[in-house]
C-alpha cells in the first residue's frame, strides 16, 4: 500500500470515530441511554453496512473491468 492509501484509511477511521462520538453526544443530550450491548450492535451494524457497500462496489468495478458486462450479441454489433 502506498502512503496516500494509508493516510486515507486512517482519515476514514478518524471520521467514523468522530461520527460515533457525535451520535453519542447527541443521544446524551436527548436523554437516551444505551447499554453496552446496544453500542456493540450499533458498531456491528455500521461495520456490516460498510463491508457490504465496499463489496458491492468492488464487484461492480471488477465486473466492468473484466469484460463481464460486454455485450456479445450479433444484433448489437455495428457491422
Confidence at residue 76, expressed as pLDDT on a 0 to 100 scale: 61
Q: Which three cell numbers stand for residue 51?
A: 463491508
The per-residue pLDDT string of the chain (79 residues; one tens digit each, 9 = 90 and over) reads 799 999 999 999 999 899 989 988 998 899 888 889 988 998 899 899 989 999 999 998 888 888 777 767 666 666 5
Alpha-carbon distance 47 to 71, whole Å?
36
* Chain-centre distance for alpha carbon 29: 28
Amino acid at each position: 500500500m502506498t502512503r496516500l492509501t494509508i493516510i486515507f484509511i486512517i482519515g476514514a477511521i478518524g471520521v467514523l470515530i468522530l461520527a460515533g462520538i457525535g451520535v453519542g453526544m447527541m443521544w446524551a443530550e436527548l436523554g437516551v441511554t444505551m447499554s453496552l450491548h446496544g453500542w456493540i450492535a450499533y458498531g456491528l451494524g455500521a461495520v456490516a453496512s460498510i463491508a457490504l457497500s465496499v463489496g458491492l462496489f468492488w464487484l461492480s468495478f471488477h465486473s466492468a473491468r473484466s469484460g463481464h458486462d460486454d455485450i456479445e450479441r450479433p444484433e448489437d454489433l455495428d457491422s
